[in-house]
Chain A
Amino acid sequence: MARRTQTKSKSRTAARAGTKRAATTRRKPAAASRSATRRKSAAPRKPARRRGRLTVTPAMKKIARQMSQMVAEQTVPADATALLKQDHREVESFFEQYEQLDSKAEKGKLAAKICLMLTVHAMIEEELLYPAAHEESEAVESDLVDEAIVEHASAKQLIAEIEAMKPGEELYDAKVKVLGEYVKHHVKEEENELFPQLQDSELDLRELGEKLMQRKIELLAQMTGKA
Chain B
Amino acid sequence: MTFNPLQERGIPIERQFRNWSELNVAPYDKESVHPFSRCRGIVMNGAEMEAIWFSHNMARHTADPQIKQQLALVRRAEAQQQKAINWLIPGDETTLEVTIGYEQVAVDLTAWIARHEPDAYLRQVYEFGLLEDFDHLYRYANLMALTEGDKKAEQIVGGLTEITPGRPTIFEHRDPRDEIRRPMTALAAETQSVLNALTVMAAEQQTMNFYMTIGNRPQEPLARGLYAEIAEIEEQHVSHYESILDPTASWLTNLVLHEYNECWLYWSFMQQEPDARVKALYELHLNMEIEHLRLACEMMRQVENRDPAEMLPKAMTEPLMFQDNKAYLRQVLGAQVDLTASEDRFLPIGELPRDHRYFAYQAKVNEGGVPSEQVIDAAKSRLGRDYRFESEGPNPAEGLRRDDERNGAKTQYAERLAA
Contacts and interface: CB of A to CB of B under 8 A. Distances in A.
A226 B189 CA distance: 11
Contact of B311 (A29, A36, A217, A226): A226
Give the one of A35, A96, A113 with max B CB within 10 A.
Answer: A113
Interface string A96-109: 11001000000000
Nearest to A224: B187
B302 A26 contact: yes
Is the interface on chain B under 10, 10 to 19, 20 to 34, or 35 or more residues? 20 to 34
B302 A32 contact: yes
Interface string A22-36: 111111010010011
Interface string B169-183: 000000000000011
Contacts of A75: 247-248
B62 interface: yes
Contacts of B250: 67, 70-71, 74
Nearest to A120: B188
B303 interface: yes
Interface residues of A, number: 40
B66 A26 contact: yes
Contacts of A149: none
A117 B344 contact: no
A66 B248 contact: no
B248 A71 contact: yes
Given A63-B306, A66-B305, A213 B183 contact: no
A159 B324 CA distance: 42
A227 B250 CA distance: 12
B251 interface: yes
A166 to B, nearest CB: 20
A227 B310 contact: yes
Interface in B292-307: 298, 301-307
Contacts of B251: 74
Contacts of A227: 306, 310
Interface string A104-129: 00000000010011000000000000
Contact of B61 (A63, A74, A86, A100): A74
A93 B125 CA distance: 13
A45 to B, nearest CB: 10
A23 B59 CA distance: 11
Interface in B262-307: 298, 301-307
A27 to B, nearest CB: 7
CB-CB nearest 8 A-B residue pairs: A23-B63, A220-B187, A97-B120, A226-B311, A93-B121, A22-B303, A26-B66, A71-B248
Given A22-B303, A25-B303, A213-B248, 16 more contacts: A23-B62, A24-B64, A25-B64, A25-B66, A25-B302, A27-B66, A39-B305, A46-B307, A66-B305, A67-B304, A70-B250, A89-B344, A93-B121, A220-B188, A221-B187, A227-B310
